[in-house]
Amino acid sequence: QKEVEQNSGPLSVPEGAIASLNCTYSDRGSQSFFWYRQYSGKSPELIMFIYSNGDKEDGRFTAQLNKASQYVSLLIRDSQPSDSATYLCAVMNSGYSTLTFGKGTMLLVSP
């Protein structure tokens, strides 16, 4: 059973702070990792993906991957109230077939 674990939260940060969201996965053969943002009652939207060890930056977002530790994280710099949402970590299964999603971490950014 492939598992993707996320802390359900809520993670509360003040506006302007850095939010750090974490995800661990069980399938050592996984190659690609995705972060989605989901507002309540809405569909998931892709933030970014990463498949090489290290950091990948896109605007205020940085994804970090450590395959040896089976750990992926998302940093959000200068957090805004509009970033308040649930963040879903998704792991692409071996063979580039389907995604396994974590249950998501709720982020609350207070003004």
Residues that bind another protein (CB under 8 A): 8, 31-32, 34, 41-46, 49, 51, 88, 90, 92, 96-104
Token pair belonging to 106: 């709720």
Our CB check for another protein shows the closer of 41 and 111 to be 41
Smallest distance, another protein to C-beta of residue 60, A: 20
Token pair, residue 27, equals 């399938």
Ramachandran quadrant class, 32 (left: phi over 0; alpha: psi -120 to 50; beta: rest): beta
Select from 96, 86, 109 the least CA-distant residue to 39.
86
Give me 56's structure tokens.
């990948």
Q: Which is nearer to another protein, 30 or 73 (CB)?
A: 30
Select 18 or 46, whichever has its Cβ closest to another protein.
Answer: 46
